[in-house]
Amino acid sequence: MTTGKKIVSQEQVMILMEDVERLYGYDFTHYTKASLSRRINQLCLLDNFASFAELRYRVVHDPEYMQRFVEKMTVNVTEMFRDPSFFANLRREILPKLRTSPFIRIWIAGCATGEEAYSLAILLQEENLLHKSLIYGTDINPSVLEQAKKAVIPMANLKSYVENYQLSGGKADFSSYYTANYNWVKLNSTLRERIVFASHNLVSDASFNAFQLILCRNVLIYFDTELQARVLSLFDESLETFGYLALGSQETLRFSALAPHYNQVGNEKIWRKVK
């Protein structure tokens, strides 16, 4: 089997997605077809499925394998202080505005293994706001949430994370936020205590709180236009007036029906809800 060989057609992708929704409740039908097709065909190569029928049989009849399938269909790419200019902007423009709130509730949707949540916790601690903040990190994928709860990162990633932290305007020695242990780094419990990791499906679940800041970066690009609109409406319902919504570098509110209710803050993809 050669790399790049297409095992599953677009039509078969949609048949499989209907199976997954019917049997397990995961609705991937509004993910972009190109992204789903690419990920499913990669999975066939990785797990040596020679045909669509083999893959479909395994997904339908093996609930344990279904967890691997969810992992591969969802986007779990993340890093600490990813896009340092974004975090610098949060520190400079957004957190000072949130300082007046008696309690700060933050939602990171699609948190993957939690690096963004821990980055934000460090930022809040350095601005003396962590003690009155609570960060909700949610994801559809239960296995990445379990990883996030452990508050560990690979030692191999540490150098790039330190560089990102410094470029974002970090005020301390990054080593003060972790304990090194062989190939892993354990983040401080004071950061973990202010984060709640929980399962939440952006496709089907409702709003669950009122937030002053919502981050959902580099997730919407994998959704079709209809699902993007639904998810943005969910965020709008979940955001207090004068709260902030942060999206990824390739995502925008500009063409959304919600655009008239938001003002963009600076050059980053951050919008303030004004009505």
DSSP string, 156-205: GGHHHHHHHHHHTT--S-GGGGEEEETTEEEEPHHHHTTEEEEE--TTT-
- Would you state the pLDDT for residue 76? 75
Among the ranges given (5-9, 58-62, 143-147, 161-165), the one the predictor scored with the smallest mean pLDDT: 5-9
Judge whether 248 and 221 are in contact, CB under 8 Å.
Answer: yes
Q: Is the pLDDT of residue 26 over 60?
A: yes
- Would you state the pLDDT for residue 114? 96
- Would you state the pLDDT for residue 230? 95
- Rounded average pLDDT over 90-117: 96
Average pLDDT of the chain? 94
- Would you state the pLDDT for residue 1? 39
With a threshold of 0.75, does the pTM exceed it? yes
- Rounded average pLDDT over 56-79: 90
Percentage of residues of the chain with pLDDT beyond 70: 99
The first and second tokens of residue 11, run together, are 């039509």
